[in-house]
Amino acid sequence: MTLTMSANKYYLCEFHEQHGEFEYSHYHVYSKKFLDENKININDVHKDDVKLLNHFFGDIDKDDEDEGSYWTFGRLVSYKGWEEIDQSELKILEKGGVYCD
């Protein structure tokens, strides 16, 4: 079990949300296992950004695209990118309020 956990990769993903004049950045950690199970290719952002946005924000329609961002519930949301992180960083990120899958 420990070998499987340490061999897994983790990605810190950044999302942007604009609601009126307010803007927010959100962060979420995804495991390689989760991404594979949901057929999300982290390296092809333009192809699978809607899948990640659907998981994080819910109810994103590909047809509601506006120059790389998507409208949902009166707000504009987008996927900004990712950074690979070590498993040792997960507890620190969770304490900082980052949700880890």
The tens digit of pLDDT for each residue in 9-28 reads 899 999 999 999 999 999 99
Residue 3 placed within a domain: no
Residue 6 placed within a domain: no
* 54 CA to centre of own chain: 9
Total number of domains constituting the chain:
1
Judge contact between 13 and 30, C-beta under 8 A.
yes
Residue 17 placed within a domain: no
The tens digit of pLDDT for each residue in 84-95 reads 999 889 888 988
Residue 66 placed within a domain: yes
Q: Which structural domain range is residue 64 located in? A: 40-78
Residue 61 placed within a domain: yes
Q: Which residues on neighbouring strands pair with residue 83, listed in sequence order? A: 12
Residue 72 placed within a domain: yes
- Entry pTM: 0.80
